[in-house]
A and B are shown apart, each in its own frame.
Chain A
Amino acid sequence: MMDAVRLTARDVGVSFGGLVALAGIDLDVGAGEIVGLIGSNGAGKSTMVNVLSGFQKPSRGTVFLGDVSLAGMPPHRISRAGIVRTFQSVRLFRDLTVAENVAAAVAVLGKGAPDVTELLALMGISDLKEKPAGSLSYAHQRRLAIARALGLRPRFLLLDEPAAGMTPGEVEELDRTLVALRDQTGLGLLLVEHNMTLVMSVCERLVVMDGGRVIARGTPDLIGQDPLVRQAYLGPGRERARP
C-alpha cells in the first residue's frame, strides 16, 4: 500500500568539536521511491543515516516524518515510527536461527505484524530459516538483516552499504530484490552504497555528498554526467553501469 508521507531532513548539521561532518543537508525520500546517497569515504553519508535513524543528534536542523518532527527521539522510537535502518556491520543475532532473527523483530509489533515466512520468502532465504544466522554467507546475512528490518513494518528503510562484500552475481540478485521489495510494499528506500552498478540501476534519484555537503542531486543520468561529481567521486573515466 502506497503511503503519501515523506521522510524529510531540513538543514541538518553535525559537528564533532571543530570538525564539521554535515553542513546543512536537505534530503527527502518519498514512499515507493529509491533514493541513492553516494559519496567518497568520509563524505558524511553514514553520519546522515545516523541522524535520520536517531543514532546521532544533529547540531542543527530537524528530521520530519510527514509533519512530525523526530527531534530528540531515541532510535527505538524512530524505528517504531517507521524509519528502520540496517548497518554496515550486519549485527545479526548470530546464535538465533534465521527465522528467530526475524521473529524477534516481528514479535514486538504483536497483532498485525508481518508474517516471518513471507518476509523470508520476499528476501529469498526461506530455505535457510532453521540455520543459525552466524552460519550464513555474507550475502545471505545482509538479506536477513533486511528481512529483520522489514519485520518492524517500516515505511522507510535506510540501507547502509547492503552490497558490501557481495559478488557481482549477488549484487544483481540484490538489485532485483530491492526493486521487488519497493514494488510490493511501497516502501521508501534510502540506499547508501559504493557499488555504482547497483546505485545507478535501482535508484530514481541520487544525492551526492562530499565533505559533509551535498554537491549534486538528480537522476542517475544527470549525476553521471555532472563534471563536479565525476571529478569528486566517480572519476573522470567512469562510465554509467547501465544506460
Chain B
Amino acid sequence: MIYVIQTLVDAVSVGAVYALSALGIGLLFGVMRLVNFAQGEFVTIGIYTLMLTVGLWFPLAAILTVLVVVLLALLADRLAFKPVRDADPATMLITSFALSYLLQNVLVLIFGARPIGFNIIPELGLPVMIGEIRIPRLNILTICVAVGLLTGIALFLRRTRIGIEMRAAAVDFRMARLLGIKGDRVIAVAFALTGVLSAVVAVLFAAQTGTAAPTYGLQLALVGFVATVIGGMGSLVGAVFGGMIVGVVTVCLQALLPPELRVFREAFVYAVVIAILVLRPDGLFQGVGSRERV
C-alpha cells in the first residue's frame, strides 16, 4: 500500500510537469492555431539559465529564469512568428521547427551536446515522512507549484479582461479582432504565459534531473504536444488532463512493468495514447481546433 501511494505521488508529480508543458502548447494553439515546438527550447534555455545562476539565492535565480524565458518567448513572437502570422498553419509549424533547431544548435555551440550536471537545492531531494510514507520534498513542491500555477492561470483567463479576450480569440480570432480586441496584444500575452509555464517547467525539471542538455526541452515539448492531442486540440482543460494522463501512465508503467519490458515503456505509453485516440478521435475534451470552422 505504501508503495502504491508513493508511486501515485510520483505519478502526479511527473504528470504535473507534463500538464504545465501541455498547457503552454495548448494556450498558443488556442489563440494562433500554432503548435510551437520551439517551446521545448524555451524550457531548455530556462534550464541553462538556472544552471548559470546556481549559487544565487534560489528565488532570485527562479525569477531570473522566468524573466529570461518570457523575454525569449516575446522575441520569438515578434521576430519569428509575427512575420508569418497570416500564412497557412503549415508555414507557422515549419517556422516553429526552424526556430527550435536554431536555438538547439546555438545551445550546442555554447554548452556542447553533452549533459552538464548541477544541483539547485540539494535539500529538495530529502524526503518528508508521512507515517511510513516517504515523499520527496521535490514532489510536494512540484505538485504545489503546478496546482498554484494552474489555478492562477484559470483565474487569469476567467476573471481578467485580457483573459476573456484571449479565450474569445481562441474561439474565433477574426471575430475577436472585429470586436476591437487587439490581436497582437492577445498573442503577445499568450507567448508570455507560455514563457512563464516553460520557465516553471524548466525549474521543476532541472530540480528533478539535476542536469542540462540541449535536447531536454524538445522531449518535453513532444510530450506536451501528445498531451494536447489526447486532451483535445484547443481545449486547455484537455491539455492539463492529457499531460496528467501521460505522466501518470508513464510512472505507473515504470512501476508495474516487469524489468525486462521497462525498456519498452514509451511504446506502451504511446499504445495507451493510440487507444485513447481510437476511442475519442477528437480527444477527451473537444476543443475549438477540432470543430468545423463557420
Hey, which bits of chain A sit against chain B, CB under 8 A?
Answer: 75-76, 79-80, 89, 91, 93-96, 100-101, 103-105, 107-109, 148, 151-152
Choose among A76, A95, A152 the residue that contacts B167 (Cβ–Cβ < 8 A): A95
* Beta-carbon contact of A152 and B294 below 8 Å: no
**A80 and B164 contact, CB distance less than 8 A:** no
**Which residues of B have CB within 8 Å of A109?**
180
For the complex with contacts A76-B180, A96-B164, A103-B161, 9 further pairs of A-B residues with Cβ separation under 8 Å are A79-B179, A89-B294, A91-B294, A100-B167, A103-B164, A104-B181, A108-B165, A108-B179, A109-B180
- From B168, B175, B288, residue with most partner A Cβ within 10 Å: B168
The 6 closest A-B pairs by CB, nearest first: A108-B180, A104-B168, A93-B171, A107-B161, A93-B168, A89-B294
CB distance from A105 to the nearest CB of B (A): 5
Chain A residues touching B, majority SS: helix
Q: How far is the CA of A107 from the CA of B177 in the complex (A)?
A: 13
Mask: chain B, 120-134; 1 = CB below 8 Å from A; 0 = not: 000000000000000
Contact A96 B171 (CB under 8 A): yes
Q: Provide the residues of chain A in CB contact with B167, threshold 8 Å.
A: 93, 95-96, 100
Whether A152 lies near B164 (C-beta < 8 A) is: no
**Inside 8 A of B168's CB, which chain A residues have their CB?**
93, 96, 100-101, 104
Q: When chains A and B are docked, how far (Å) is the Cα of A152 from the Cα of B176?
A: 12
Residue of B nearest to A78 (CB): B178
Chain B residues in the interface with A (C-beta under 8 A): 161, 164-165, 167-168, 170-172, 175-181, 288, 294
**Residue contacts A-B, CB under 8 angstroms, 9 given:** A76-B178, A76-B179, A93-B171, A95-B167, A96-B168, A100-B164, A104-B176, A108-B179, A152-B179
Contact B179 A148 (CB under 8 A): yes
- Contact check, B179 vs A105: say whether CB atoms are below 8 A apart: yes
Assembled-state Cα–Cα distance A96/B169 (Å): 11
- Please, which residue of chain B has its CB at the minimum distance from the CB of A53? B178
- When chains A and B are docked, how far (Å) is the Cα of A40 from the Cα of B180? 32
Chain A residues whose C-beta falls within 8 Å of the C-beta of B294 in the assembled complex: 89, 91
- Shortest beta-carbon distance from A120 to chain B in Å: 15
Distance in Å from the Cβ of A219 to the closest Cβ of chain B? 33
Are B165 and A104 in contact (CB-based, < 8 A)? Answer: yes
Q: B181 near A93 (CB under 8 angstroms)?
A: no
- B172-A91 in contact (CB<8A): yes
User: A75–B170 Cα gap in the complex (Å)?
Assistant: 19
Distance in Å: Cβ of A221 to nearest Cβ of chain B: 36
Chain A nearest CB, measured from B19 CB (Å) = 20
Minimum CB–CB distance from A153 to chain B (whole Å) comes to 11
Residues of A within 8 A of B179 (CB): 76, 79, 104-105, 108, 148, 151-152
Q: Which of B164, B175, B288 is the one whose CB lies under 8 Å from A91? A: B175
Interface centre among B171, B172, B178 (most CB of A within 10 A): B178
**Residues A108 and B171 in contact in the complex (CB < 8 Å), given A96-B164, A103-B164:** no
Question: Which residues of chain B come closer than 8 Å to A107, judged between CB atoms?
Answer: 161, 164-165
Q: Please give, as numbers and ranges, the residues of chain B lying within 8 Å of A108 by CB-CB distance.
A: 165, 179-181
The answer to whether A75 touches B178, judged by C-beta atoms less than 8 angstroms apart, is yes
In the bound complex, what is the Cα–Cα distance between A80 and B179 (angstroms)?
8
Closest chain B residue, CB of each to CB of A99:
B164
Min CB–CB distance A50 → chain B (angstroms): 12
**A95 touching B288, Cβ below 8 Å:** yes
